[in-house]
Structure 1
Amino acid sequence: MAESLPLEMLTYILSFLPLSDQKEASLVSRAWYCAAQNALRETNVQYNIPVSSASLPAIKSLGLRGITCIGLTNLDDSPASHQVLKSVAYHLGPNLQSLCLSGGSPTEASFVALLLGCPALRILDLSGCNSLFTSGTLLAQPEMAQQIRQVLHGLCELNLAGLRDLTDLSFNRLSSCAPNLERLSLA
């Protein structure tokens, strides 16, 4: 009888179960496996991706699964980081709702390019990303700020904790690009 339920209904039912029970339910049948995978995705599990060229196939795979919440680790200004950011924007960007770059060192250009590929972003964690604010020129160009404002219209949570180079001007530029901001962390 449960096998005759639509996938959406099975997913909804399984979303109420703890992860251990969802795992057990996924062993019942192929339909239940798919429903359990969908339920898992809907719980905003953050996938932490180390930045390296070896991560590119995983990023593509996560994109096919419609993953909405990721964190990037070991982010710097290397060619591998640029390649990973492009891949994230292309494969994950359209569905991405939560992005954590905590402690990373992306260049301003690669950061802006990444944001432009993430129109559904609701949560952005830039804690410890001092390299973005060192020069003080992030979003200084009005046309670039306008493009970012269009992309970040749905952003409701922004984490700017631990930024020693964040100036009032840089803060105002970035926060003005997120008109629907509900939660801000500067601790």
Structure 2
Amino acid sequence: LQMLTYILSFLPLSDQKEASLVSRAWYCAAQNALREVSLGLRGISCISLTNLDGSPTSQQVLQSVAYHLGLHLQSLCLGGGSPTEASFVALILGCPALHTLVLSGCNSLFISGMLFTQPEMAQNVRQALSGLCELNLAGLRDLGDLSFNQLCSCVPNLEHLSLAYSHPTFQLGAA
């Protein structure tokens, strides 16, 4: 179904309607393709994606959000999920209009301590998050001071920060 949806998304509307008459699976794929286009055209500005994990399905959801909604997205909540660092960075780079980012409970992003450590990636993220005003890091148990500093250095216009119920750890001797 996903492959059919992808293929049909390249066809004009009249051909998608014609393809939907082939079978039930093609009908569902055509409807999915139309739905994806209509979501992107609506300009949705706020979305909440909870309990995402590192699975291929979750990664595909994040890619679709970045591709279809990213340009208009102003508020993004990934609360309680555990997306991979790579899929998170790709999502952030696809959402340049973000004003609010909620990462409460997204411990997996901070476990390695390597989030935004590459200078080129940090610069790209800094550019994408230049309009971010509100950052919610509540309920993080694996938030280290280095990860926190790296993340905050990528958010130059931050006005509101929430660290409620977070347990930051400090590394001695870190520069």
TM-score, structure 1 as length reference: 0.68
1:133 is matched with which residue: 110, 127, 148?
110
Q: Distance in 2 between matches of 1:66 and 1:82?
A: 21
Q: Cα offset for 1:64?
A: 1.7
Q: Distance in 2 between matches of 1:185 and 1:57?
A: 38
Matched, 1:97 2:80: no
Distance 1:57 1:130, change over 3 A: farther
The code of the aligned residue for 2:146 comes to: L
Q: Distance in 1 between matches of 2:43 and 2:110?
A: 31
Distance 1:109 1:150, change over 3 A: same
Aligned-residue sequence identity (percent) comes to 76
Distance 1:104 1:56, change over 3 A: farther
Q: Cα offset for 1:74?
A: 2.8
Query: 1:1-187 maps to which residues of 2 (within 5 A)?
Result: 60-187=37-164
Q: Distance in 2 between matches of 1:129 and 1:56?
A: 30
* Other structure's SS at 2:92 match: helix
Cα RMSD after superposing both structures: 1.5
Q: Distance in 1 between matches of 2:141 and 2:34?
A: 35
Q: Cα offset for 1:56?
A: 8.3
Structure 2: runs of 5 or more not aligned: 1-31, 165-175
Q: Deviations over 1:128-171 (max 9, x none)?
A: 00000011100011110000000000000000001110011000
Structure 1: runs of 5 or more not aligned: 1-54
Are 2:129 and 2:155, in contact at CA under 8 Å, matched by a contact in 1? yes
What is the number of equivalent residue pairs in this alignment?
133
* Other structure's SS at 1:147 match: helix
* Other structure's SS at 1:70 match: strand
Q: Distance in 1 between matches of 2:117 and 2:153?
A: 12
The code of the aligned residue for 1:179 comes to: P
* Other structure's SS at 1:114 match: helix
* Other structure's SS at 2:146 match: helix
Distance 1:56 1:111, change over 3 A: farther
Distance 1:183 1:76, change over 3 A: same
Q: Distance in 2 between matches of 1:153 and 1:142?
A: 16
Q: Distance in 1 between matches of 2:99 and 2:61?
A: 21
Are 2:104 and 2:140, in contact at CA under 8 Å, matched by a contact in 1? yes
* Other structure's SS at 2:49 match: strand
Q: Cα offset for 1:61?
A: 3.2
